Structure 1
Amino acid sequence: MNFRFQNLLGAPYRGGNAVVTNNTLLISPVGNRISVTDLIKSETITLPCQSSSNIARIAASPDGLFLLAIDDNSRCLFINLRRRVVLHRISFKKPVGAVKFSPDGALIAVAVGKLLQIWRSPGFRKEFFPFELIRTFADCDDKVTALDWSPDSNYLLAGSKDLTARLFCLKKLSGFSKPFLFLGHRDTIVGVFFGLDKKSDRVSRVYTLSRDGSVFSWSYSGIDGKVDGVGGEGSEPPSPGTPEQRPDQIDESNFNDNVKKRKNFDAGESILEEESEGLLHRGKWELLKKDYFMQAPAKLTACDYHRALDLVVVGFSNGVFGLYQMPDFVCIHLLSISREKITTAVFNDLGNWLTFGCAKLGQLLVWEWKSESYILKQQGHYFDVNCLAYSPDSQLLATGADDNKIKVWTVSSGFCFVTFSEHTNAVTALHFMASNHCLLSASLDGTVRAWDLFRYRNFRTFTTPSSKQFVSLASDQSGEVICAGTLDSFEIFVWSMKTGRLLDVLSGHEGPVHGLMFSPTNAILASSSWDKTVRLWDVFEGKGAVETFPHTHDVLTVVYRPDGKQLACSTLDGQIHFWDPIEGLLMYTIEGRRDIAGGRLMTDRRSAANSSSGKFFTTLCYSADGSYIFAGGSSKYICMYDVTDQVLLRRFQITHNLSLDGVLDVLNSKNMTQAGPLDLIDDENSDAEEGVDKQTRGKLAYDLPGSMPNRGRPVIRTKSLRIAPTGRSWAAATTEGVLLYSIDESFIFDPTDLDIDVTPEAVDAALSEDQPSRALILSLRLNEDALIKKCIVAVNPADIPAVTSAVPFKYLQRLIEAFADLLENCPHMEFILRWCQELCKAHGHTIQQNSRNLLPALKSLQKAITRLHQDLADTCSSNEYLLRYLCSTSTKK
């Protein structure tokens, strides 16, 4: 019951800007969530917090503790990255074009439409409203698109759509009522950056980059006319600026008085007098040179500047990126990494890694420009994920999608390590073989393919005499027979895995065969079809349909319980039917129409309560022990039912993203116009100007009966549900991507056989008195994870057989779960494996008799042992080759 959101796979990046903190942590928006990738450990996690719509802008504090995330509706979340919680929320009135923390972390600059707002950064202080607006600059004539702070946090550069860049001073000084203007660009400003003089470590340059591919370099000269840094007095004539800001028109006495009265915005206290010659308003700004990237007709869509290395990286709408040494404008790299526009480009702290994102393709790349090698290369599915499959050891997860691709992910790290793209049409079904290194896939292109996960190749392809469209897939326990159901001919094809020959064609259904599954205990195949029947087939005996279970509505999917003694199927009227496959009797029926109902589409003319569309389950999945069942469909909810009592245990809302259709239960009538819903009317071409395409998701041609058409906005739905064999986690293929939920590892107080004498002190006393059996049983009664592990580690290796024999059966599951956790986290590998061995010797018969109840815990233990074995095998192989190399070199010498 205690499943919580763990991670999001299948969509590493969907738009917005990415940031890198602490040199190795890459933070990127994924829809309305935030993904954090550790580039050293090669792990990615998705924060559990959600925004109300797709996130457009993010900014991280200099120390990497806090994150600002602003969505398309201008709602902002202030997140503590370490604790992964939302500390504060605020809503800005207009769309935010840029946001950035000051270098000292005290202030936040937010570009709200034409306005530039300076806010005091919230901290750990408990306040009623921690966001405090310090200043507002209203000098820009159009939307602000780019920001940059000076290193001392006193000045701010802002680029705008009005083709200008402006230099703002945070201090209120007389004579400086208006910002300095940097003029001359002929297109929207994409980036503005301060440059430093390496000798004096002061601001000496400004770089402004515009969308047409031009970069202007501006040099700063003091009040005596001497240029700080690059350039000189006669390098270029001074650029046209704001007349009232020139030094010869400044009242010197008023200026010095105002410098002494400068305000500290964070604490509200006055600060020390600052040297007047260090202020940027004291001198002149001159246009040093104009350079052009020469990538027309492509537009510059993303850029970043590394101040210490004086490097500029730029990305273009044709997928080309360039790295340039400034101020000499020397091209270091000019490469193409995509055929679509680059929507974000950013340096890490050291400047040796470049991060690029392509929203349309879902690509996220980290490239080391010195060695010209990839640090990270991840790409999500271009269209919706249709099917999922867990490997038998629960370490791998395979996904198939409408983009004709199959991706295999490592569940623990969240990384995709192989992509298969041989299919020429949408992948509709996946199945892992029991061997753990063979994956089967079915597709609408008329083929079923077998993939080798050792050599990463397609080693067998199953076809039919005439082309068919496969939508379901199954394999028996031995892995000798492969079956696939079709969409068009309503047949089930049977192949031999060893030879690849077509063995049989099962006919009898009169509609598409969307559900197919072998019994876990025998060779009986169950199939469900839109012809309102579920049929059982004896594939090996060749008797055809053994039994038929009729229904009153179309049957959408069918699944077996893990012990093979029950069959569940969902129908178009929103019901789940449970059958006894041996007796052929209907056991239970769950009415789920009201449970899955919710969410109104923009195009619906009826309310969510009165609409009949989407009120049925398209995918089902039993738990590892078969006691409850998950059900999902064309809704924002995934339902979890108790099978025996037929009651709803819990409803998971998979997203709160209002950018998707079907999330709101009640639509606002103010947004309805004569031309249709206001949200579906695109009256401006802003997506092309900003360099971000509004992606509309693909859709298969065989949508379920009663489903509504999608007119431009993705509709939230669940296409596939799978629970891990360990029972500790489950995955859902949704419009948002693949959502992973797992049991929370935090301590849950679930006491059994407690009395007044069962305390942590009693456990410590038993350990001190050398009574390991008593201490372990007391800790198991308390059910506190830390105490159980402490007692396990405290047992003498010679006493393990005696202690395992004394453990009652009802504590075996908890003890096995503790072993699985210890194997993954503690260094005493042989010690824990000996515990497992003695436990199997002492309770082997009992474990075998109660395998159904203990199966999730045993699968977790198997997963931990398999992972440990793989790590050791890799280490031993590496050591063996290293020793061979050392021996060969010593022999030569």
Structure 2
Amino acid sequence: MKSDFRFSNLLGTVYRQGNLLFSEDGTKLLSPVGNRVSCFDLINNRSFTFEYEHRKNIVRIALNKQQTLLLSVDEDGRAILVNFISKTVLHHFNFKGSVEDLQFSPDGHYFAIGTTKFIQVWKTPDVTEDRQFSPFIRHRIYSGHYNDILSINWSNDSRFFITTSKDMTSKIYSLHSDEKSVAMTLAGHRDYVIKAFFNETQEIIYTISKDGALFKWEYTERPTDESEDEEEEDDEDEDDNDEKIEKPMSWRITAKNFFHSDSKVKCATFHPKTNLLVVGFTNGEFRLYDLPDFNMIQQLSMGQNAIDTCEVNKTGEWLAFGSSKVGQLLVYEWASETYILKQQGHFDSVNSLTYSPDGSRIVTASDDGKIKIWDVNSGFCLYTFSEHNSSITDIKFSKKGNVLFSCSLDGTIRAWDLIRFRNFKTYTATDRIQFNCIAVDPSGEIIVGGSQDSFEIFVWSVQTGQLLDSLNGHEGPISCLSFGNENSVLVSSSWDKTIRVWNIFGRNLSVEPIELKSDALSLTVRPDCKEVAVSTLDGYITVFDIETGNQIHLIDSKRDILSGRHLEDRFTSKNSARSKYFTTINYSYDGLTLIGAGNNNSICMYDISNEVLLKRFIVSQNLQLNGTQEFLNSNRMIDGAGPLDLIDEAGEASDVEDRLDSTIPGSKRGDPSLRNTRPEVRVTSIQFSPTSSAFAAGSTEGLLIYSVDNFTLFDPFDLDLDITPEAIVEALTEKEYLMALVMAFRLNETHLIHQVYESISLKDIKLVASDLPVIYVTKILDFISDLLILEDNPHFEYNLLWIKNILEFHGQYINLNKFEFQSSLKKIQRFLNKVGKDVVLLNKRNNYLLEYLTVARDLKEDDEEEAVIEDVEMEVDEEDDEDEEEEDEELNGDEEELGGWFGKEVKSSNGIVFSVSDEEQDDNEDDNEDEDDDEEEEDSDD
């Protein structure tokens, strides 16, 4: 199994603190999540987290207009410059002070930061600069405020910027030294000035204060005294040339408006092109105003907690809001009044997590009593269950993946339908006890639960919900329960230092109790149900044979764990004995690797057969968490007082809401930003993905995803000098498909494999698949599965033909080595399930269209039959008309022959004029009347 796992994404946390940021095109949203930065793609419905970490939580992020440079600053003023496109770190820098605001100029050449009372303007790093030895070059330092700066805003032409401060003033500065006269102070507010904005023409400035006042400033003539006006009039009269004297100009308040809200203004943003003003308040309310008329467009609320930041995209259509109290992120389209994105992480720490059987979803449970379902590909929360009344301690999937089971400290075990998203069963014991672990039988018929209150294992029927039995034998609290994937063998561990293996349907023990040297904390069963691994309090991982109960392997993990030191510790992490054990362990799906984590800062991956450490992952580098520091810092120590960071400085805060503290002293869970305690870095649950290409860890920072799929490595397989890209292309042109495919796999270049794969014709797939060496079967299945999942290849039938022929000719080999093909087959199965669901959904959506088309076809057939009948009748009528015309023509011909012998002219009904005698005329009229009567009788008969 591969061990080159790397951090790929962070779920479970969408916003912590700081400012939100839209990309220039408005399709991506950047959000600080602790000491990392997450990016949400609002168009493609995906998210990712940058791999780099800060030493402390991020307070400000900024992106230049070209979308190439991302600058993020933490609470200590340490900045990291990142290439936004390649996601690589370019430079580290220290501004040596807390940064209140950070803004790039619209042209991207400069950026300004506000540190305490000063503004620093720096040049943006540029590769075109010659002889530039430092990435950051400071342009100038501006001063003038008497208190901390709150915001900075640039003008559209990048010549000026306006700042706001706690000294209740705003100041205008010029970037260039030849425009010093532009500098001016705007005073008049009675509280902190939160924001100040230029309009699009830069002729109007809007300033917003914390008490809800909005001032409009315009550049007009400065007023003068009456005496000065009289002197100027006399001078104008005396002037012979009648030249006008220019009056001095200045920024003046031309309008005052007030929000009239019961709460304070927390944040604001302005869109100059549409004159849209967005204001967020401390009670969770936000309003939209149209300036300069100050007309309120909308008034909504996103909760009861304060809105810490708001942002608008370039087009002015989407608004982003963030609330750090509950970790909520919201993207709102105000024109249609719809939510583009609405995400919220867990309020408390994650207690348990589990992968769905197809590996496409992760379910997390937390102390806040909520269960959240996360999509692995998009990184978004799909649904939240909140029926539990207390902390949720464990969650498990059924084998098919359509039912989820959870247990809680409220004394219930609940079953959730993941198709209809509802709770359809609730299981309880005879007494009200708090459950801390559950396990589900592979057949899906039995569910078992254990507790720390009782030493029994309770057994329920999934279908009926009845309590079937209770398994007695343990003499201490139950710590963990687990079923294997192949049979119904139940393994339980307890604090009584024993492991017991139960035959759940026989209601007896399969082997004698397995004795341990210490309390059992966690256990995991190998997928083939032949081995069980258990982590104990003494720091060992012991592997036993389930059938015989004999010990097979023993791993000493104490020397591999990095526990870290807490803030109040007077020793280094090397001398710390705290948390030198694993509280959660899990087998990989091939059964060869085991991963473990606990209340420490390390995740360890072991090779079981050799009992060696393969790789160690660091959970977090955030120094604001206990357990991340390694050495003592004498600079932060005070004689007789201990660490400087333990001194409470909240009483000196300038804002009243920062000085107030309504939290419970000594609380170790809940909001990590509480000043009463420092959260401790720990991993509460860890599990491998069913595809074996990733694993997830529920930690203090959130849900960490480590994967091997997102990185391209040059890893040639059985490479020779004769195998070159030119040789592969040559073999392909000569239609030697098998040789070209094998050479491409040996070179292991993805684009060459793709080219050869899609160049093979349909009729040759069967031949190539049958002659393919078995050593390349795993590689081609991995390639096809990645092609289906990642690249969204349109050749659906072509890929299915490949899969069908590979399974047909190499099915026996795959069955004998199923652990090697577990990952690729899971991906293929997930893709087929997804396509099947899409087809079913499409069929449901098209039901009405199919009914309409069916009815339209029937109506069309009826119309065609009626048209045929009408055509037949018309043909019959036309034949009758033709016969009448022929008879008329014959009659007319006879009459024309007689026309020359008689003198009187008579005009017939068909317009022919002829002459007959009076007697013959009477006879002809009688004959015509008889013929008309005969024709009427024939028509009636017809």
Q: Mark yes or no: TM-score above 0.5.
A: yes
How far apart in 2 are the matches of 1:6 and 1:343?
Answer: 28
Does 2:388 correspond to 1:428? Answer: no
After TM superposition, the structure 1 = structure 2 runs for residues 679-690 of structure 1, keeping only pairs within 5 Å, are 679-685=645-651, 686=653
Structure possessing the higher radius of gyration over alpha carbons: 2
Query: Once the 2 structures are TM-superposed, how far is the Cα of residue 119 of structure 1 from its aligned partner?
Result: 0.6
Equivalent in the alignment of 1:20: 22
After TM superposition, the structure 1 = structure 2 runs for residues 251-290 of structure 1, keeping only pairs within 5 Å, are 283-290=249-256
Higher relative contact order (CA 8 A, sep 6+): 1
Equivalent in the alignment of 1:855: 822
Query: Once the 2 structures are TM-superposed, how far is the Cα of residue 880 of structure 1 from its aligned partner?
Result: 4.4
Matched to 1:594, the amino acid is R
After TM superposition, the structure 1 = structure 2 runs for residues 365-380 of structure 1, keeping only pairs within 5 Å, are 365-380=330-345
Equivalent in the alignment of 2:215: 216
After TM superposition, the structure 1 = structure 2 runs for residues 360-399 of structure 1, keeping only pairs within 5 Å, are 360-399=325-364
CA 1:601/1:367 → structure 2, altered by over 3 Å: closer, same or farther?
same
Equivalent in the alignment of 2:900: none
Matched to 1:728, the amino acid is S
Is the 8 Å Cα contact of residues 597 and 614 (structure 1) preserved in structure 2? no
Query: Once the 2 structures are TM-superposed, how far is the Cα of residue 761 of structure 1 from its aligned partner?
Result: 2.2
Equivalent in the alignment of 1:258: none
Is the 8 Å Cα contact of residues 2 and 744 (structure 1) preserved in structure 2? no
Equivalent in the alignment of 1:358: 323
Equivalent in the alignment of 2:421: 456
Matched to 1:215, the amino acid is L
CA 1:172/1:701 → structure 2, altered by over 3 Å: closer, same or farther?
closer
Secondary structure (helix, strand or coil) at the match of 2:146 reads coil
1:29-75 deviations in Å (ceiling 9; x for gaps): 00011111111122111111111110001112123222211101111
Query: Once the 2 structures are TM-superposed, how far is the Cα of residue 491 of structure 1 from its aligned partner?
Result: 2.1
Equivalent in the alignment of 1:755: 720
Matched to 1:609, the amino acid is K
Q: Which moved more, 1:785-794 or 1:484-493?
A: 785-794
Is the 8 Å Cα contact of residues 392 and 434 (structure 1) preserved in structure 2? yes
Is the 8 Å Cα contact of residues 634 and 718 (structure 1) preserved in structure 2? yes
Is the 8 Å Cα contact of residues 650 and 659 (structure 2) preserved in structure 1? no
Query: Once the 2 structures are TM-superposed, how far is the Cα of residue 891 of structure 1 from its aligned partner?
Result: 10
How far apart in 1 are the matches of 2:359 and 2:568?
Answer: 40
Is the 8 Å Cα contact of residues 18 and 28 (structure 1) preserved in structure 2? yes
CA 1:85/1:405 → structure 2, altered by over 3 Å: closer, same or farther?
same
1:178-201 deviations in Å (ceiling 9; x for gaps): 8311111121111111113xxxxx
Residue segments in structure 2 that go unaligned for 5+ positions in a row: 226-231, 233-246, 861-942
Equivalent in the alignment of 2:881: none
After TM superposition, the structure 1 = structure 2 runs for residues 660-675 of structure 1, keeping only pairs within 5 Å, are 660-673=625-638, 674-675=640-641
How far apart in 2 are the matches of 1:882 and 1:369?
Answer: 33
Equivalent in the alignment of 1:104: 107
1:383-425 deviations in Å (ceiling 9; x for gaps): 1111111111101110001110000011000011100000011
Equivalent in the alignment of 1:865: 832
Equivalent in the alignment of 2:193: 189
Query: Once the 2 structures are TM-superposed, how far is the Cα of residue 434 of structure 1 from its aligned partner?
Result: 1.6
Between the aligned residues of both structures, percent identity stands at 41
How far apart in 2 are the matches of 1:238 and 1:3?
Answer: 73
Of the three residues 42, 46, 51, the one matched with 1:48 is 51
Secondary structure (helix, strand or coil) at the match of 1:840 reads helix
Residue segments in structure 1 that go unaligned for 5+ positions in a row: 197-201, 226-232, 240-247, 249-280, 704-708
Equivalent in the alignment of 2:88: 85
CA 1:702/1:401 → structure 2, altered by over 3 Å: closer, same or farther?
closer
How far apart in 2 are the matches of 1:542 and 1:871?
Answer: 44
Equivalent in the alignment of 2:137: 132
Query: Once the 2 structures are TM-superposed, how far is the Cα of residue 654 of structure 1 from its aligned partner?
Result: 1.7
Does 2:799 correspond to 1:832? Answer: yes
Query: Once the 2 structures are TM-superposed, how far is the Cα of residue 694 of structure 1 from its aligned partner?
Result: 10
Query: Once the 2 structures are TM-superposed, how far is the Cα of residue 288 of structure 1 from its aligned partner?
Result: 1.3
CA 1:608/1:850 → structure 2, altered by over 3 Å: closer, same or farther?
same
CA 1:644/1:590 → structure 2, altered by over 3 Å: closer, same or farther?
same
CA 1:881/1:641 → structure 2, altered by over 3 Å: closer, same or farther?
farther
How far apart in 1 are the matches of 2:388 and 2:120?
Answer: 51
Is the 8 Å Cα contact of residues 12 and 345 (structure 2) preserved in structure 1? yes
Is the 8 Å Cα contact of residues 3 and 741 (structure 1) preserved in structure 2? yes
Equivalent in the alignment of 2:695: 730
1:430-480 deviations in Å (ceiling 9; x for gaps): 111122221111111111111111111001111112111111111111110
How far apart in 1 are the matches of 2:856 and 2:648?
Answer: 69
CA 1:764/1:397 → structure 2, altered by over 3 Å: closer, same or farther?
same
Query: Once the 2 structures are TM-superposed, how far is the Cα of residue 681 of structure 1 from its aligned partner?
Result: 2.2
How far apart in 1 are the matches of 2:260 and 2:58?
Answer: 32
How far apart in 2 are the matches of 1:692 and 1:802?
Answer: 77
Query: Once the 2 structures are TM-superposed, how far is the Cα of residue 858 of structure 1 from its aligned partner?
Result: 1.6
Equivalent in the alignment of 2:238: none
Matched to 1:353, the amino acid is W
How far apart in 2 are the matches of 1:56 and 1:689?
Answer: 21
Does 2:562 correspond to 1:563? Answer: no
1:288-345 deviations in Å (ceiling 9; x for gaps): 122221223x221111011111111111111111111112221111222111111011
How far apart in 1 are the matches of 2:675 and 2:170?
Answer: 42
Equivalent in the alignment of 1:36: 39
Secondary structure (helix, strand or coil) at the match of 2:547 reads coil
Is the 8 Å Cα contact of residues 82 and 88 (structure 2) preserved in structure 1? yes
Is the 8 Å Cα contact of residues 571 and 617 (structure 1) preserved in structure 2? yes
Does 2:151 correspond to 1:146? Answer: yes
CA 1:415/1:483 → structure 2, altered by over 3 Å: closer, same or farther?
same
Is the 8 Å Cα contact of residues 563 and 578 (structure 2) preserved in structure 1? no
Secondary structure (helix, strand or coil) at the match of 1:773 reads helix
How far apart in 2 are the matches of 1:169 and 1:726?
Answer: 58
After TM superposition, the structure 1 = structure 2 runs for residues 506-545 of structure 1, keeping only pairs within 5 Å, are 506-544=471-509
CA 1:15/1:24 → structure 2, altered by over 3 Å: closer, same or farther?
same
Is the 8 Å Cα contact of residues 16 and 327 (structure 2) preserved in structure 1? yes
Query: Once the 2 structures are TM-superposed, how far is the Cα of residue 546 of structure 1 from its aligned partner?
Result: 4.0
1:84-116 deviations in Å (ceiling 9; x for gaps): 112222111111011101111111011011110
Does 2:418 correspond to 1:414? Answer: no
How far apart in 2 are the matches of 1:722 and 1:282?
Answer: 72
Structure having the larger proportion of residues in helix? 2
Query: Once the 2 structures are TM-superposed, how far is the Cα of residue 806 of structure 1 from its aligned partner?
Result: 1.1
After TM superposition, the structure 1 = structure 2 runs for residues 471-870 of structure 1, keeping only pairs within 5 Å, are 471-544=436-509, 546-673=511-638, 674-685=640-651, 686=653, 712-824=677-789, 825=791, 826-870=793-837
Query: Once the 2 structures are TM-superposed, how far is the Cα of residue 604 of structure 1 from its aligned partner?
Result: 2.4
Secondary structure (helix, strand or coil) at the match of 1:173 reads helix
Instruction: Quote the RMSD (CA, aligned, Å).
Output: 2.6
Equivalent in the alignment of 2:74: 71
| Count of residues in correspondence between the two structures | 828
CA 1:748/1:174 → structure 2, altered by over 3 Å: closer, same or farther?
closer
How far apart in 1 are the matches of 2:664 and 2:83?
Answer: 32
Equivalent in the alignment of 2:936: none
Matched to 2:355, the amino acid is Y
1:484-517 deviations in Å (ceiling 9; x for gaps): 1112113211110111111111122233322111
Is the 8 Å Cα contact of residues 404 and 426 (structure 1) preserved in structure 2? yes
